[in-house]
Structure 1
Amino acid sequence: MGATINKEEKHRKLIIVLSILIPLAVAVLFRVKVPGYDLSFLPPIYASINGLTAVLLIIGFLAIKNGKKQLHENLMKICIGLSAAFLVMYVAYHMTSESTAYGGDGAIRYVYYFILISHIFLSVAIVPLVLFTFVRALSKRFDRHRKLARITLPIWIYVAITGVIVYMMISPYYS
C-alpha cells in the first residue's frame, strides 16, 4: 500500500506540472504564427476526434458498469490518446491559421459564447482530472479512482461534445 501511495504521489508532481504547462503552452503557441502551411483541413478532423472521444467515453462507462474491466481500460487509454491527438492538431491549426470570428447574431451568439467559454475553462480543468483518475487506476487504487471518475467522466464528455458543437456553430464562418 505504501508503494502505491508513493507511486501516486510521484505522479502528482508530474500531473501538476503538466496541468500548468499544457494550458500555458497552448496560450503561448496560439500567439505564434507559422506562415506557409495550410492546415485548414484540420478542424473537421479534430471535431470528429472530439465526437469519437465522447462516444468511446460512454462505451467505456457502459463497459465498466457491465464488469468489462479490460475493455474499459483500453477505451480510456484510447480516449487519452485521442485527446492528445486533438490537442496537437488544434494547436497546429491555430499556429498556421488566423482565428475565425463567430458570425451569428441575436440570442444564438450568447449561446455560442456560453458553450465556447465553458468548453475552454473545462478543457483546462479536465487535464489534471483525467491524469489523476488514470494514475489512480494504474496504481490500483480503484476506490479513489471511482470517486474521482464520477467527476471526471461527465466533464470530459461535456468537453468532447461541446467541442463538436463549437465546431459546427463556427464552421460556416471559416474563410
Structure 2
Amino acid sequence: MDVTELPKLYTIFNGCALVHILLGLTMIKLGHKKPHIVSMIIALLFSTAFLGCYLYYHYHAGHVKFAGTGLTRPIYFTILFTHIPLAILSLPMIIMTVVPALRSRFDKHKRVAKWTVPVWLYVSVTGIIVYLMCYVWYGPPIRG
C-alpha cells in the first residue's frame, strides 16, 4: 500500500468508529450493557487504527493544502478549525471516560460520557467531511 492511499483507509477506520459509537450509544440506551461494551471497544480499536494511520501518513506526506476555491474555502476551514481542537481534546476525554468504566465507576463514566460522546461524534463526522472535501470533491490536495 502506498502512503497516498492512507487517507482513504484512515477515513474508513473513522467511519467504522462512528458506526460503533452510535451502535454503542444505542445499546446502552436500550439497557444492553454487554453489546454496548463490545461496540465501544470496537470503536476504540478503529479510532486507534485511525490515529496510527493518520500520524504515519502526515509524517511521511508532510503538510497538504486544500485545493478548493471560492466559497468552499471558508466552509472547509471553518469545519477544519473546529475539528482540530476538538480532535485533540477528544483523546483525553475518551481516556477519562474509559478509565472509570474499567474501574467499575459507572456513575463517573456516565457523567463524563455525556460530554465525550458528542465531541467524539462531531470529530468523527467532521473528519469524514474534511477527507471528502480535501481528497475527493476538490481533487487531490496540494503537497508541500
Find the counterpart in structure 2 of residue 136 from structure 1. Answer: 100
Aligned alpha-carbon RMSD (Å): 1.4
Q: Which moved more, 1:96-105 or 1:136-145?
A: 96-105
Question: Does residue 1:152 correspond to 2:116, yes or no?
Answer: yes
Equivalent residue letter for 2:83? H
CA distance in 1 between counterparts of 2:114 and 2:42 reads 19
Count of residue pairs brought into register by the alignment: 139
Q: Secondary structure at the match of 1:106?
A: coil
CA distance in 2 between counterparts of 1:139 and 1:91 reads 30
Find the counterpart in structure 1 of residue 68 from structure 2. Answer: 104
Check the 8 A contact 1:39/1:96 in 2, yes or no: yes
- Which of 15, 22, 25 aligns to 1:61? It is 25
CA distance in 2 between counterparts of 1:53 and 1:108 reads 27
Question: Does residue 1:170 correspond to 2:137, yes or no?
Answer: no
Structure 1 residue 98: Cα displacement = 3.6
Find the counterpart in structure 1 of residue 34 from structure 2. Answer: 70
Find the counterpart in structure 2 of residue 17 from structure 1. Answer: none
Deviations 1:117-151 (A, max 9, x none): 11110011001110010011111111111111010
Structure 1 residue 102: Cα displacement = 0.8
Question: Does residue 1:118 correspond to 2:62, yes or no?
Answer: no
Structure 2 alignment gaps of length 5 or more: none
Q: TM-score, structure 1 length as denominator?
A: 0.75
Aligned-residue sequence identity (percent) comes to 37
Check the 8 A contact 2:101/2:109 in 1, yes or no: yes
CA distance in 2 between counterparts of 1:42 and 1:118 reads 23
Find the counterpart in structure 2 of residue 46 from structure 1. Answer: 10
CA distance in 1 between counterparts of 2:80 and 2:107 reads 33
Equivalent residue letter for 1:117? F
Structure 1 alignment gaps of length 5 or more: 1-36
